[in-house]
Amino acid sequence: MKVRVYWNTFKCRFSVLSWEGDNKGRVINHAFALLLKDCKFIVQPRGNARAREEGKKNAHAFVEGTIYHGRTRVQTGRVRYNPFRMIQFEMDKEPIKEAKFVFLTTREESAEIYASKEEAD
């Protein structure tokens, strides 16, 4: 199932939006961890600008992909996004727009995102 995922600052977990079918655009789940395949990193410029202007976060940055229930053994790098310092997601201080696999998890009430551009073993 194709979804868009964003960090929900109020619930301290990820909100999962359906991105296909009758529920497209609706939150269908909240998760502490999620594995996605064939992903895109999306930042809506107007939402980024609004976060900077208002000095508070809003839901404008997403990871879009397909929920993956299999196992992977791939090398990953940490992905970061801070709307007050960045205009796009970054991995190793370089912009990242796509990844083969993305692992989203929580740690001490904050989001951690790891991505791989490799195929799984």
The answer as to whether 71 is a domain residue is yes
The answer as to whether 121 is a domain residue is no
The answer as to whether 107 is a domain residue is yes
The answer as to whether 50 is a domain residue is yes
The answer as to whether 45 is a domain residue is yes
- Quote the mean pLDDT of the chain: 93
Contact 59, 6 (CB under 8 A): yes
Instruction: Give the pLDDT score at 70.
Output: 85
- Average the pLDDT over 49-74 and give the result: 92
- pLDDT(117) > 90: no
Select from 1, 38, 2, 30 the least CA-distant residue to 14.
30
pLDDT tens-digit map of 31-52: 999 999 999 999 999 999 999 9
Domain that holds residue 70: 2-116
Question: What's the total number of domains in the chain?
Answer: 1
